[in-house]
Amino acid sequence: MTRIVLGVGASHSTLMNTHWEETVHKDEAGRFRDALYAARDRIAAARPDTVVLVGSNHFRGFWLDLIPSFTIGVGECVASGESGTPKGPQPVDEELARHVAGSLVEGGRFDVAFSARLQIDHGQSHAIQYLLAGLDVRIVPIVVNVFAPPLPTLARCDALGRAVREAVEAFPGERRVAVIGSGGLSHRLPWPDWRSPDGEDEEFMVRAWLDGRNNWQDYDARRREIIRAARAAINPEFDDAFLAMVEKGELHRITAYTTERLEEAAGNGAQEVRTWLVMAAALGHVPGRRLAYEAVPEWLTGMAVAVIEPENHGRVPA
């Protein structure tokens, strides 16, 4: 019997790797990093065989020539390795991944895209680096479009998580499965709406997103300069309310937000909370536990870690 045994939500930032020494808020950064390691220990203790890894893509695997709402990696998976994150092939549980993709489509729930040669970036590899370090697990990568509007609605992401849960539990093999949602919380990136760029920097970004499939490295230096010049726009009040929903098992309430309202409240980078929502829905929205929340302006982001342990609520047999 296959069961989902743990859920983890965690923010990510490549600036952890590239600008740790320049980070002024060292205490906050250290507490967040410690929480990642604590979550990694919880994953190890749950003994998963496979991790369903839900993340975003920052225009290194998907480009404006093709942007699916949801994509499942069902074959090769290669991490781009930017900014000190893992690089190269990642181990995929192809049997489970293909079962999930097929179940979603054949059940009439989701016409998901799939990739037999998926490229991921730090939207997922940051989690591999910090949450799966040293663990012998395979992954089922799921990429959610959170940066190229029109975005999938939050309600649709919640429905995806529920459908993934059903598909995983219907898998005929024996698996212990953890689910990770990587991204968020509140932050604003200097990234334009690709449909209406305003000014030279925004036009550059859109051109990079359109043309960068085979040469994204050529655009990366200026891209990072633009990001590093951005001013932090963190909303701790939104983040606290979001984490309270996780703790109460009520993250489905976030579906009341439209894409526009979410950006107004917490920045365009907060669209990544869709990955947490998929994760929480896959865990049946049982109450979770906050391990850390730190506002780190140098990383532009409200950084959080939370875990959902369904066996504490009688959902998973010992």
- Arithmetic mean of pLDDT over the chain: 94
Cβ pair 272, 56 in contact under 8 A:
yes
77 alpha carbon, distance to own chain's centre = 16
287: in domain: yes
Q: Which domain holds residue 181?
A: 3-189+230-311
Cβ pair 83, 18 in contact under 8 A:
yes
CATH of the domain at 43: 3.40.830.10
Where residue 315 falls among pLDDT bands split at 50, 70, 90?
low
216: in domain: no
289: in domain: yes
200: in domain: no
197: in domain: no
Q: Which residues are catalytic?
A: 122, 187
Report how many domains make up the chain.
Answer: 1
* Rounded Cα gap, residues 218 and 40, in angstroms: 34
149: in domain: yes
223: in domain: no
pLDDT at 318 (0 to 100): 35
116-153: pLDDT as tens digits:
999 999 999 999 999 999 999 999 999 999 999 999 99
Cβ pair 248, 308 in contact under 8 A:
no
- Pair of tokens at residue 257: 């937000």
260: in domain: yes
Q: What is the pTM of this model?
A: 0.95
